[in-house]
Amino acid sequence: MTQSFEKLDRTSVPELDNILGIPFNVLDDGFIRVIDYMGSDAAIVQAARVSYGKGTKKIREDEGLIRYLIRHHHTSPLEMCEIKLHVRVPMDCWRQWIRHRTASVNEYSTRYSLAIDAVQKTKPNEWRLQATSNRQGSEGYLEVEKGRSFSAREDELLNLARIVYSERIDAGIAREQARKDLPLSTYTEAYWKTDLHNLLHFLALRMEQHAQLEIRTYATIIGCEIVSKWCPLVWKAFNDYQFSRMELSKQEIAIIAHLQSGDIEGAKNTAREYGFLPAKGESLKYNLEREEIEQKLKTLGIRPPWLPS
């Protein structure tokens, strides 16, 4: 072998270096800080090209290659990038965050140290109403006047919780037990480190409109303020191909193909066959899958053939 290798310098991304350590404020008392990172758009290209060998050097441009990788879910080169964040998050939100298992975590220990003396408080205009269309979401806000009384009540509860915690600590009760009744709105802090592939998966799920507002706020900042600076080509491709994509099922493809060829009955029959359109003559009933299809067809500018024109 006569391969020769040059001395390398570390990959760095000046746009990200500029914000290292500086907190992005989130919610009323949370933050996200980038502590360190490894890799960049260029490092992804470099790793992908190991797979492809000499055969493809210079054939594709970097941006084209990155877009290809993301379009085709070739995610292993994305794992070559790592980022380490320092975050401050309400425990309720952290409970969702920590469900993403492919990450390294060092969390502030309330066995070892006093619980952080900060809770996420809700302003009078921030009380959200239960969604009716979606069992696990919210839509709209409580009127501010009512909100005021709920915020006051919240203060009362949070104050009592903190006093009770302090009384226990003062009496010498173990920190690991004194904390047991702290409210979920108490802030925690953690170092959280993950690779870019798993981070994009986190963002795809948590920036999404059905994600809970609190974690969505964190995710959006990580995406729009951090990943966008760190790996701008990946960020753009992620938005085009992953975050804003539409998935069409086998039956949705068949319905569209029928409609494009003018076969309205064929489209309806496919829908009936899959059980989301009632038999001829029966009236339409609520069906979640049909609603989802209708929404997709509308986005594509195609009229669902079973709806009144």
User: Is residue 257 near its own copies by the rule CB under 8 A?
Assistant: yes
Number of residues that bind its own copies (CB under 8 A): 132
User: Is residue 295 near its own copies by the rule CB under 8 A?
Assistant: no
Q: Tell me which residues in 130-189 interact with its own copies (CB under 8 A).
A: 130-131, 135-138, 142, 146, 150, 153-154, 156-158, 160-161, 164, 167-168, 171-177, 179-185, 189
Closest contact distance (angstroms) between CB of 173 and its own copies is: 5
Cβ-based nearer residue to its own copies, 93 or 222: 93
Q: Tell me which residues in 192-231 interact with its own copies (CB under 8 A).
A: 193, 195, 212
What does the alpha-carbon distance between residue 305 and residue 8 come to, in Å, rounded to a whole number?
Answer: 61
What does the alpha-carbon distance between residue 288 and residue 309 come to, in Å, rounded to a whole number?
Answer: 21
What does the alpha-carbon distance between residue 134 and residue 132 come to, in Å, rounded to a whole number?
Answer: 6
Closest contact distance (angstroms) between CB of 240 and its own copies is: 5
Q: Tell me which residues in 41-60 interact with its own copies (CB under 8 A).
A: 43, 46-48, 50-56
Q: Residue 289: what residue type?
A: E
Please calculate the CA angle 13-237-79 and round it to the nearest 5 degrees.
60
Closest contact distance (angstroms) between CB of 102 and its own copies is: 8
| Alpha carbon of residue 233 to chain centroid | 19
At 232, list the tokens: 């701008």
Cβ-based nearer residue to its own copies, 29 or 294: 29
Closest contact distance (angstroms) between CB of 281 and its own copies is: 23
Q: Tell me which residues in 12-31 interact with its own copies (CB under 8 A).
A: 12, 17, 20-23, 29
User: Is residue 272 near its own copies by the rule CB under 8 A?
Assistant: no
Annotated active-site residue 206? The verdict is yes
CB-neighbour burial class of residue 152 (10 A; exposed 0-12, middle 13-18, buried 19+): exposed
Active-site residue (options: 49, 67, 88, 206): 206
Residue of 20, 194, 33, 34 lying closest to 99 (CA atoms): 194
What does the alpha-carbon distance between residue 223 and residue 215 come to, in Å, rounded to a whole number?
Answer: 12
Cβ-based nearer residue to its own copies, 43 or 277: 43
Alpha carbon distances (Å) from 105 to 6, 108, 199? 35, 10, 14
Cβ-based nearer residue to its own copies, 183 or 220: 183
Q: Are 75 and 51 in contact (CB under 8 A)?
A: no
User: Is residue 107 near its own copies by the rule CB under 8 A?
Assistant: yes
User: Is residue 112 near its own copies by the rule CB under 8 A?
Assistant: yes
What does the alpha-carbon distance between residue 226 and residue 220 come to, in Å, rounded to a whole number?
Answer: 9
What does the alpha-carbon distance between residue 274 and residue 282 come to, in Å, rounded to a whole number?
Answer: 16
Positions marked active-site: 206
